[in-house]
Amino acid sequence: MTGLVLYNTRTRTREAFEPIESGHARVYSCGPTVYAPQHIGNLRPYLMADLLRRALEAEGLRVTHVINITDVGHLTDDADAGEDKIESAAAKSGRTAAEIAALYTEQWKNDRRRVGCLEASVYCKATDHIAEQIALAKRLEAKGYTYRIDDGLYFDTAKFPRYTEFARLDLAGQESGARIADVPGKRHSADFALWKLPAPAVQRQQEWDSPWGRGFPGWHLECSAMSTKYLGAPFDVHTGGVDHIPVHHTNEIAQSECALDVHPWVRFWIHNEFYDLGGEKISKSKGHVLVLQDLVDRGFEPLAFRYFFLQGHYRQQQAFTIDAMEAAATGYRRLLGVAVQVRDAAERPDDAVISAYRARFREAVRDDLNAPRALAVAWEVARGADLGAAEKRALLLEFDGFLGLDLASATPRTAVAESDPRIDGLVAERESARRRKDFAAADRVRDALAAEGIVIEDTPAGPRWRRT
């Protein structure tokens, strides 16, 4: 039995986590649709999944973590009537669908890396698994869960009595309306496409032959097909944003449970809430959504964004503002400062002193991945007057296995990170002026450097400088 307790959307309760297969946790995370840059809010699901993965490993489990990459079939709305996001982006940019997907997949992977997410065991693309998706749809068809209309092959949600259970949907309240009219022939508004056939006049870049005609897979299908391929069924944890509960995850469950005869198909469903980006949704400087690189351009370290993330609980909306980001960056810089100070401390900490902090940190992690509480314990350690350098070092490095803030290889952010002959010369000039008590001259140099964004810090070891 692990000590980890997670909030499970499926049961709407907190449950002790125990893997189906002893010693091995199988996790699937809904990944990005790679048609545009991912704004910083889209990083939250992966940061949350990363926390989960680290917590599972801390329990001594081997983790197989699969993340899908949606590079086809995700429509611009959930009514099965919109355009394919990838095709649409390709058409607008003059690039091919494959180029669009490759470009934004790389950006996304790079962003993940920069905010300290561990690499997934498997990244799987929808377009690499067309055969698996077709096989799954055929299985559903053979079992009588589908029907065909001009638009494609559809899943008949009425054939799956548990359909509304997961999201606690009130379908009656949504039954009527435009969604049915959008796709002629749909039997129920909630029915969804397994395989889509393009309209007669439409020429698509991404098309495949299938038993139902040349077309492309419905968005939901890939997650069922690929998770089954890489994790089997049932498996332990499925993660994603809360927005996926009513449609995407509901449909995944319907497909999978009907095709595979499993229930529950997934034991734990973990969903993250969103950031409230408020007025920061758009990057003013560039006129597009706020992406990680925009923060970097403003002088923030990517891991400072991770620190921001850690300050809130993943199931809680969190307000992102530049002010909050600056506060996080300052906190992160100072925490790193402590890590640097104790970096060369002795290897032999006093276990008796350490154990209480270790226990409290672990308790926070195990309590539904309570990162803010874990971070608070880290700060108590950092500031703790009752702890020596060896104890601080040992604890902070251990905690960083969960926090992922790179405390181990921390370099002092307040020190000189670069060398410049001209600036070094000016700093030396100021130093000699100070020695002969010519403070007016010394301050002139300091002011001049400040004007170009360079600040001088005097330390017992002499002056040093950094850019702000």
Partner RNA sequence: GGCGGCGUAGCCAAGUGGUAAGGCAUGGGACUGCAAAUCCCUGAUCCCCGGUUCGAAUCCGGGCGCCGCCUCCA
Nearest Cα neighbor of 4 from 43, 55, 54, 38 is 55
439 interacts with RNA by CB under 7 A: yes
To RNA, the closest distance from the beta carbon of 214 in angstroms equals 28
Q: Is 350 in the site for RNA (CB under 7 A)?
A: no
**Candidates 44-52, 105-113, 348-356, 437-445; binding stretch for RNA (CB under 7 A):** 437-445
Maximum Cα interatomic distance, the chain, rounded to a whole number of Å: 92
- Cβ contacts of residue 148 below 8 Å, gap of 6+? 154, 212
Can residue 229 be called a binding residue for RNA (CB under 7 A)? Answer: no
Identify the residue among 213, 372, 388, 401 touching RNA (CB under 7 A). 372
Q: How far apart are the C-alpha atoms of 361 and 375, rounded to whole Å? A: 8
Peptide bond into 264 cis (omega under 30): yes
Taking CB under 7 A as the rule, does residue 447 contact RNA? no
Tokens of 28: 């699937």
Q: Which of 82, 144, 177, 425 binds RNA (CB under 7 A)?
A: 177
Contact 274, 242 (CB under 8 A): yes
The candidate with the shortest Cα–Cα distance to 152, out of 189, 191, 126, 204, is 191
Among 58, 194, 338, 405, binds RNA (CB under 7 A): 338
83 binds RNA (CB under 7 A): no
Q: If binding is defined by CB under 7 A, does position 337 make contact with RNA?
A: yes
Q: ω into residue 421 within 30 of 0, thus cis?
A: no
Interface region with RNA, contact rule CB under 7 A, candidates 223-231, 289-297, 345-353, 449-457: 449-457
413-443 burial, b at 16+ Cβ within 10 Å, e below that, comes to: bbeeeeeeeebeebbeebeebbeeeeeeebe
The CA distance from 257 to 228, in Å, is 11
**Integer Cα distance of 217 and 416 in angstroms:** 54
Q: Is 15 in the site for RNA (CB under 7 A)?
A: no
Given the complex with RNA, which of 58 and 325 has the nearer CB atom?
325
The answer to the question of residue 434 lying near RNA (CB under 7 A) is yes
| 446 touches RNA by CB under 7 A | yes
Interface positions, 122-151, toward RNA (CB under 7 A) = none
What span, in angstroms and rounded, lies between the C-alpha atoms of 187 and 204? 27
Q: Exactly one of 318, 365, 366, 426 binds RNA (CB under 7 A); which one?
A: 318
Pick the binder of RNA from 92, 143, 383, 467 (CB under 7 A): 383
Which residues lie near RNA (CB under 7 A)?
A: 77-79, 168, 170, 172-179, 242-243, 246-247, 273-274, 276, 308, 311-313, 316-321, 323-324, 326-328, 330-331, 333-334, 337-338, 367, 370, 372-373, 375-376, 379-380, 383, 385, 414, 434, 439, 442-443, 446, 455-459
